Amino acid sequence: MTGLRTHLAEKPWLWSFLAAALVWGLAVAFAGGHGGGEILTSALAFGTFTVIVGLGQMMVITTGPGNVDLSIPATMTLSGVIAMKVMDTDSAHMLIGILAAMGASLVVGIVNYTLIRLLRIPPIIATLSSSFLVLSTAISYGRGLRIKPPPPLAEFATVRMFGIPLAAIAICLLSLAVAVILKGTVYGRTVAAIGQNERAAWLAGLNVRGTRFATYVLSALLAGLCGILQSGFSGGAALNMGDDFLLASIAVVVIGGTSVAGGRGNVPGIWGAALFMYLLVTMLNIFGASPGVRLVMTGVIIIAVITIAGGERQTR
Amino acid sequence: MSAEAIRLDGVEKSFGAVRALAGVDLVVGVGECLGLVGHNGAGKSTLMHVLAGALAPDTGRLTVGGIEPKTAWSSASSQAAGIRCVFQELSLCPNLSVAENARIVHGALSGFGWKARARTLIRTKLDEIFPGHGINPDDEVGDLPIGKRQMAEIARAFTVTSAPLRLVILDEPTSSLDAVTAEQLLAYIAKETARGTAIILISHLLGEILSASDRIVVMKDGKAVAARPAKTFDRASLMAAMGSDLNDVAVSEQLRPAPKPDAPVVVRARPSGQGAGSELIVHKGEITGLAGLAGHGQTKTLLQIFARQGAEVDGPMAFIAGDRQSDGIFDLWSIAQNVTVRSLRSLTRRGFVDPTAEAQLARTWRDRIAIRTPSMDNNILTLSGGNQQKTLFARALGSDATVILMDDPMRGVDVGTKLEVYAMIRAEAAAGRSFLWYTTEVDELTHCDRVYVFRNGRITEAIDAADLSEQRVLQASFAESGT
């Protein structure tokens, strides 16, 4: 038991996996032991999207107190709308559609950082206000359109190998890359250093401005990627497709063991937390909870998990 | 000793495998100034945290005024017993004003008009200890330079409302004070002990300890190894008791060959407050001192040079912070990561920081600068203050920087280490590195080839090594005081 406890203290992300496993167990038990595999598969499919934006949000939050990207849902929508419209259900236009969507996301990232840096607006306000601009652009550009994704994109977003969604495998590799970058590159170390003490990071000769810029751009690019995949998955872009991801992107980062005060990121925890969040809703559905009860329970349980798993880590 | 203010018997304390206190006995008499010396990590700060109730000892007994406290010893009970502390890591709340910080320790300042009373209380004490301090009780602490924060904290420790004042612990109180304010404090200590307050003075400045204390206790490896009246010690015997090798002194006193007169200029800067006046010029291989009273633009000038604003600098720079909490330490990281952070780019192979090379760099500097730790992978905060400071030296000296900026970097560093670091700085300068060294200790200026004295953000005088004297530095510090 004490072995487990020290293990948990060293690897805070284990909490999120334990919580996910517990919720899954409860759901399967209530369903009479059936459908466990099916639930896991869909958790992986839906969780993947949360992970993509969670990775970007984690990098932003790790750069220190006050840093958060609230423009993620709007960026997802813009990217999805542009991708679908440029591709216009034609497989031959897929690459150009992806480039156009990612290009737009890049611009959002640059605008976000420009607002923060040049106009000295706090990130929370800057990204929130830019998301209004971004969403308006998406609305005017994609008004009344519901264009289906080209078949190869839909295929990639939905196909499964041995019950595991292909997209989940791809994003798993992406997560691995982010984890390696965070731990082993000058950029990753700089992100963690800025999050602990921005002034000391500057005095240690690190490139503070460049790193913050790259981080906001990275977050926007990941949101853009998520928008494209989500459109492929759900048969087209929708103006409300990003709505659930504002809270989710922050919640998975926090539940996953990343320090809210900055300086310490955690990639594996994002996966555990994303699975947990999906399984939680599934469990409440199986229990037959009404939508109101479901929302209240989701909120209460997220608060409880953050309190239990995150209480000690955030007192510094 | 008939009247004892406080007494510790057989106090032991371990942190994991590190034995910080190995059975310490300590008595402080009423109205006595006790000097406490020892190397970094000798256990001085830990012992004081035990006295203050911030750390519970593993074993040992504590009596206050001859009486054993009835309840468990804690910060609150030590406060109630009249024990106040000024620790190395300053503990004022940066987002509150000086007066509001005074209120935090004085519960009696309550009810209507508490703020006015807090203002008066702290202003009176500041005036008494540091005449001409220039601190407004309404100043937000975070906006004050470190020297003034330290003055405010010292003054707060000596204020009295409801609880009596029995013992004040001053841990490195002058480390951020300039010569004039340090002198004011020492004079006040004599006055305060005459009123019956006991004082424990911890300092690495032996001159200060020898002149201010009645009795001196020497600590080494978690034990009190000597305790005698101050009169029976002199500088050499005190250092011998601490276990410093006197040969080190001889080495560091050796003269360094003067830098070549035709060496290229590596730094040319004009402090922002300087009109058309003189420039600050550093040649390759030179050690340049920045002197004057604390907070008169020296740190600002260093930062300006670091940012290359209004300054031309030839070559990469490194900055050694004196205010290590806000300018230096990454507190979530290991000691090793804190050392290597300045050198990450040169440790990168094919896009990734090479873990072997990184560990190697950290190990090399642990040995070169003698950072006292069982493992460089431990968190930086497991180190004593002086050893954290050494980590910052290792960070800068282990990097590729050819120009090193030092912002009063010897805060909390013990004598032995200081001598080693002085020798290291001289050797590095002889090898072609250039140093800009702001210091509040006039003694350290003797290592410099040229000293710039600051007053109100401007250079008032440039003194060459041959003409340097304490007298002259002080004179220049007070020059044109009308402005």
H or E element, residue B201:
strand B198-202
Chain A contacts to B (CB-CB under 8 A): 180, 184-186, 189-190, 192-193, 196-197, 199-201, 203-206, 259, 263-264, 316
Distance CA B169, CA B43 (A): 15
The one-letter amino acid at B339: V
What mean pLDDT comes out for the span B106-111? 84
| CA distance to partner chain B, nearest, from residue A116 (Å) | 21
- Residue B10's SS3 state is strand
Contacts (Cβ under 8 Å, ≥6 apart) of A286: A27, A30, A31
Sole residue written with tokens 């990775």:
A55
| CA distance to partner chain B, nearest, from residue A106 (Å) | 23
Between the two ends of chain A, the Cα-to-Cα distance in Å is: 26
Task: Kindly list the residues from chain A whose CB atom is less than 8 angstroms away from the CB atom of residue B331.
Answer: 196-197, 316
Question: Where do the H-state alpha helices sit in A197-290?
Answer: 198-203, 208-233, 245-255, 268-286
- Is the pLDDT at A171 greater than 90? The verdict is yes
Distance CA B332, CA A261 (A): 11
The one-letter amino acid at B216: I
Q: How confident is the model at residue A1 (pLDDT cuts 50, 70, 90)?
A: very low
Distance CA B387, CA B382 (A): 10
Q: How far is CA B215 from the centre of its chain?
A: 22
Is B277 within 8 Å of chain A by CB? no
| CA distance to partner chain B, nearest, from residue A261 (Å) | 11
Of the spans A8-22, A178-192, B242-256, B261-275, which averages the highest pLDDT? A178-192
CB distance A186–B318 less than 8 Å? no
Q: How confident is the model at residue B1 (pLDDT cuts 50, 70, 90)?
A: very low
How many CB pairs below 8 A link A and B? 64
- Tell which residue, A43, A112, A118, has the closest CA to residue A72: A112
Between the two ends of chain B, the Cα-to-Cα distance in Å is: 52
Q: Name which of A199, A203, A263 is nearest B332 (Cβ-Cβ).
A: A263
- Is the pLDDT at A308 greater than 80? The verdict is no
Q: How far is CA B358 from the centre of its chain?
A: 29
- Is the pLDDT at B249 greater than 50? The verdict is no
Residue-wise pLDDT tens digits, B22-32: 888 999 999 99
Distance CA B438, CA B445 (A): 9
- Tell which residue, B92, B145, B116, B118, has the closest CA to residue B454: B145
For residue B265, give Cα distances in angstroms to B257, B287, B303, B403, B429. Answer: 18, 13, 19, 11, 14
Q: How confident is the model at residue B310 (pLDDT cuts 50, 70, 90)?
A: confident
**Pairing of β B348-349 and β B450-455:** unpaired
**Higher per-residue pLDDT: A205 or B474:** A205
Contacts (Cβ under 8 Å, ≥6 apart) of B260: B285
- Residue B82's SS3 state is coil
CB distance A196–B326 less than 8 Å? no
Residue-wise pLDDT tens digits, A59-83: 999 998 889 999 999 999 999 999 9
Residue B433 near residue B285, CB atoms below 8 Å: yes
Residue-wise pLDDT tens digits, B282-309: 999 899 999 888 778 889 899 999 999 8
CB distance A200–B352 less than 8 Å? no
For residue B434, count other CB atoms closer than 10 A to its CB: 29
Residue B309 near residue B395, CB atoms below 8 Å: no
Q: What per-residue confidence (pLDDT) applies to B251?
A: 45
| CA distance to partner chain A, nearest, from residue B332 (Å) | 7
Mean pLDDT of chain B: 86
Question: Where do the H-state alpha helices sit in B89-243?
Answer: 98-105, 114-129, 146-158, 179-194, 206-212, 235-242
- Residue A245's SS3 state is helix
Q: Which of A256-260, B68-72, B146-150, B402-406 has the lowest mean pLDDT?
A: B68-72
Q: How confident is the model at residue A177 (pLDDT cuts 50, 70, 90)?
A: very high
Q: Name which of A189, A199, A203 is nearest B344 (Cβ-Cβ).
A: A189
Residue B39 near residue B413, CB atoms below 8 Å: no
Distance CA A201, CA A188 (A): 13
Distance CA A91, CA B381 (A): 57
- Tell which residue, A266, A274, A268, A298, has the closest CA to residue A61: A266
**Higher per-residue pLDDT: A218 or A295:** A218
- Is the pLDDT at B336 greater than 90? The verdict is yes
What mean pLDDT comes out for the span A221-248? 91
The one-letter amino acid at B20: A
- Please name the residue of chain B whose CA is at the shortest distance from the CA of residue A205: B342
CB distance A186–B344 less than 8 Å? yes
Distance CA B17, CA B452 (A): 46
Residue B402 near residue B431, CB atoms below 8 Å: no
Q: What per-residue confidence (pLDDT) applies to A28?
A: 86
Mean pLDDT of chain A: 87
Residue-wise pLDDT tens digits, A193-210: 999 999 999 999 999 999
What mean pLDDT comes out for the span A90-98? 90
For residue A72, count other CB atoms closer than 10 A to its CB: 31
H or E element, residue B198:
strand B198-202
- Residue B219's SS3 state is strand
Distance CA A186, CA A207 (A): 9
- Please name the residue of chain B whose CA is at the shortest distance from the CA of residue A195: B330
The one-letter amino acid at B188: Y
Q: How confident is the model at residue A316 (pLDDT cuts 50, 70, 90)?
A: very low
What mean pLDDT comes out for the span B38-49? 83
Residue B436 near residue B407, CB atoms below 8 Å: no
**Pairing of β B167-171 and β B434-438:** unpaired
**Using H for helix, E for strand and C for coil, what is the string for A25-91?**
HHHHHHCCCCCHHHHHHHHHHHHHHHHHHHHHHHHHHHCCCCCCCCCHHHHHHHHHHHHHHHHCCCH
B:369-428 residues touching chain A, CB 8 A cutoff: 395, 399, 401
Q: What per-residue confidence (pLDDT) applies to B277?
A: 62
Task: Kindly list the residues from chain A whose CB atom is less than 8 angstroms away from the CB atom of residue B341.
Answer: 189, 193, 204, 206
Question: Residue B441 half-sphere exposure, CB side, CA atoms within 13 Å?
Answer: 23
Strands (E), B316-472: 317-320, 348-349, 352-353, 403-407, 434-438, 450-455, 458-464
CA torsion, ordered B76, B80, B85, B91, to nearest 10 deg: 50
- Residue B368's SS3 state is helix
Positive/negative CA dihedral, A281, A282, A284, A289: positive
Distance CA A203, CA A60 (A): 21
* DSSP line for A13-25: THHHHHHHHHHHH
ipTM of the complex: 0.86
Residue A68 near residue A251, CB atoms below 8 Å: no
CB distance B332–A316 less than 8 Å? yes
Q: Is B427 exposed, middle or buried (0-12, 13-18, 19+ CB in 10 A)?
A: exposed
How do the residues of chain B divide into helix, strand and coil, expressed in percent and rounded to 5? 40, 25, 40
Q: Best interface-test mutation with A: which of B332, B350, B438 has the largest number of A CBs within 10 A?
A: B332
